[in-house]
């Protein structure tokens, strides 16, 4: 595999590489190395030429004595700090999507919307050059940002990526896919499309922010009938403060960002087995506007 397509660079830092400078207080600066250029901070300047040709993991000193450790950014660091139009999918959620949607080398993945390109970057590394990521983004400005971010990470166009600007239902090409990832306000609108495009055994993964969105997409999948029982969850990430015997949870954490919903496509014409459940009183009361299961009492 072409090393460029992994987004990973080995060996000495070179012109064109993005690197991250971090000071003793944890403040970070991302710069693209260019011969002859200088990086300026309140602690003085650092010549890019001092970094070009050096290995990662060095400590450099600015002209006024400020010290910085230098590494190439990891993928999660890059996607968290990339320029953005739409909000990016956080690394904790991207990792869950890659795992529970079972994104594999060679997979054919449909993604909507592309946003700022963070999840696209993870998907492209996972499918590799033998796979295909078809990204749909309805806003031209967001699509342009996503394209710049993805090209920057992979040092140019990725052969497995196809970006289309337009509404998913209108722009989508009717071709079978293995996985479908929807990051949009109204994903339930496209459940029928998912049923048409997903290969038998394929996985639909939906990323939504609110409980009402989560409920509606799950009930729509159940009403469709040809998706195995949906699963829904959220992931919270909490760091720990470690200093001598002062070991405690961090005061802040990456708590709720979104809910993830996954469901698996049955073979065409095959109905998923309905889960035997007795709903809570009022679960489908007069104020409920979504689809209702055919049998609520078995």
Task: Tell whether 183 is in a known binding site.
Answer: yes
Overall domain count for the chain: 2
pLDDT 10s digits, 55-97: 999 999 999 999 999 999 999 999 988 888 888 899 999 999 9
In this structure, the answer to whether residues 166 and 154 fall within a common structural domain is yes
| Residues 261, 208 contacting (CB under 8 angstroms) | yes
From residue 172, how far is each of 25, 89, 183, 264, 267 by CA, in Å?
47, 22, 15, 20, 21
- pTM score of the predicted model: 0.88
In this structure, the answer to whether residues 150 and 167 fall within a common structural domain is yes
Instruction: Give the span between the Cα atoms of 260 and 213, in whole angstroms.
Output: 11
Give me the pLDDT at residue 289, please. Answer: 64
In this structure, the answer to whether residues 41 and 140 fall within a common structural domain is no
Give me the pLDDT at residue 277, please. Answer: 67
Does residue 284 belong to any structural domain of this protein? Answer: no
Q: Choose one of 73, 102, 117: the last residue of a domain.
A: 73
In this structure, the answer to whether residues 244 and 136 fall within a common structural domain is yes
Q: Choose one of 73, 93, 113: the last residue of a domain.
A: 73
In this structure, the answer to whether residues 146 and 174 fall within a common structural domain is yes
In this structure, the answer to whether residues 138 and 253 fall within a common structural domain is yes
Does residue 279 belong to any structural domain of this protein? Answer: no
Give me the pLDDT at residue 56, please. Answer: 96
Give me the pLDDT at residue 298, please. Answer: 40
State whether residue 213 is helix, strand or coil.
helix
In this structure, the answer to whether residues 112 and 14 fall within a common structural domain is no
Does residue 280 belong to any structural domain of this protein? Answer: no
Does residue 199 belong to any structural domain of this protein? Answer: yes
Give me the pLDDT at residue 3, please. Answer: 67
Task: Tell whether 117 is in a known binding site.
Answer: yes
pLDDT 10s digits, 171-181: 777 899 999 99
Task: Tell whether 118 is in a known binding site.
Answer: yes
Please report, for the domain that includes residue 133, its CATH number: 3.40.50.150
In this structure, the answer to whether residues 170 and 52 fall within a common structural domain is no
- pLDDT (tens digit, 0 to 9) for every residue of the chain, 298 residues total? 566 678 888 899 999 999 999 999 989 999 999 999 999 988 899 999 999 999 999 999 999 999 999 999 999 999 988 888 888 899 999 999 999 999 999 999 999 989 999 999 999 999 999 999 999 999 999 999 999 999 999 989 999 999 999 988 877 778 999 999 999 999 999 999 999 999 999 999 999 999 999 999 999 999 999 999 899 999 999 999 999 999 999 999 888 999 999 999 999 999 999 877 666 777 777 767 666 655 444 4
Does residue 282 belong to any structural domain of this protein? Answer: no
In this structure, the answer to whether residues 195 and 209 fall within a common structural domain is yes
The range of the structural domain enclosing residue 47 comes to: 10-73
Does residue 270 belong to any structural domain of this protein? Answer: no
In this structure, the answer to whether residues 123 and 242 fall within a common structural domain is yes
Does residue 288 belong to any structural domain of this protein? Answer: no
Give me the pLDDT at residue 138, please. Answer: 93
State whether residue 168 is helix, strand or coil.
helix
In this structure, the answer to whether residues 35 and 115 fall within a common structural domain is no
Exposure string for 25-38, b = 16+ CB within 10 A, e = fewer = eeeeeebebeeeee
Q: Choose one of 46, 73, 100: the last residue of a domain.
A: 73
Please report, for the domain that includes residue 44, its CATH number: 3.10.330.20
Task: Tell whether 137 is in a known binding site.
Answer: yes
Does residue 116 belong to any structural domain of this protein? Answer: yes
In this structure, the answer to whether residues 173 and 57 fall within a common structural domain is no
């Amino acid at each position: 595999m072409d090393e460029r397509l992994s987004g990973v660079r080995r060996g000495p830092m070179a012109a064109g590489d993005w690197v991250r400078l971090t000071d003793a207080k944890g403040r970070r600066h991302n710069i693209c190395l260019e011969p002859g250029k200088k990086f300026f901070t309140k602690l003085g300047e650092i010549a890019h030429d001092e970094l070009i040709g050096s290995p990662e993991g060095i400590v450099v000193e600015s002209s006024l004595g400020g010290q910085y450790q230098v590494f190439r950014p990891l993928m999660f660091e890059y996607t968290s700090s990339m320029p953005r139009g739409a909000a990016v999918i956080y690394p904790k959620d991207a990792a869950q999507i890659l795992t529970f949607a079972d994104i594999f080398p060679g997979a054919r993945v449909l993604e909507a919307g592309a946003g700022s390109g963070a999840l696209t970057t993870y998907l492209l590394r996972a499918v590799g050059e033998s796979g295909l990521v078809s990204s749909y983004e309805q806003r031209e400005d967001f699509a342009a940002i996503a394209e710049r971010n993805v090209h920057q990470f992979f040092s140019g166009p990725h052969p497995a990526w196809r970006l289309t600007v337009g509404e998913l239902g209108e722009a989508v090409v009717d071709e079978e896919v293995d996985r479908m990832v929807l990051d949009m306000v109204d994903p339930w609108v496209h459940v029928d499309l998912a049923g048409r495009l997903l290969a038998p055994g394929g996985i639909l993964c939906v990323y939504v922010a609110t409980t009402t969105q989560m409920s509606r997409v799950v009930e729509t999948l159940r009403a469709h009938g040809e998706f195995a029982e949906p699963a829904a969850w959220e992931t919270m990430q909490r760091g720990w403060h470690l200093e001598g015997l002062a070991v405690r949870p961090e005061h802040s954490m990456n708590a709720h960002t979104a809910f993830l919903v996954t469901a698996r496509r049955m073979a065409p014409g095959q109905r998923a087995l309905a889960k035997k459940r007795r709903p809570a009183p009022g679960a489908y009361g007069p104020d409920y506007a979504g689809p209702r299961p055919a049998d609520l009492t078995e």
